[in-house]
Amino acid sequence: MKEHRNVSPRQEALNERALYQAIQSLRTPDELRAFFRDLCTPAELQAMADRWSVVAMLGKHVPYRAIQRETGVSVTTIGRVAKFLQAGNGGYAIADARLAGGRRR
């Protein structure tokens, strides 16, 4: 859980926007890899990579238990990814569609 900080909601939003702008400025997978390895702990990177692999498997209609066996990701996390894939902010779906060339699997 995040500790209490004296940062206003406005400043938090500005910080978040600056982070997105920094990510958007990177041009290659190698640049992104270097940035995320500097920004995140190994556990944070693994958690994000695990969630992304779940997105791909859910897109192929792989059952939750099979995803769990193959990835080691908990069924709770798989369910959370599925929930956000269906009714989240649309980020998973946008990236998935773009990587699939706009085609559904």
pLDDT in tens, 40-84: 999 999 999 999 999 999 999 999 999 999 999 999 999 999 999
pLDDT, position 100: 85
Calculate mean pLDDT across residues 77-96.
95
**Cβ–Cβ < 8 Å for 81, 64:** no
Calculate mean pLDDT across residues 96-103.
80
pTM of the predicted model as reported, rounded to 2 decimal places: 0.83
Alpha carbon distance 40, 85 (integer Å) = 23
Question: Which residues, in sequence order, are CB contacts of 32 under 8 Å at separation 6+?
Answer: 23, 26
pLDDT band at 102 (very low <50, low <70, confident <90, very high): low
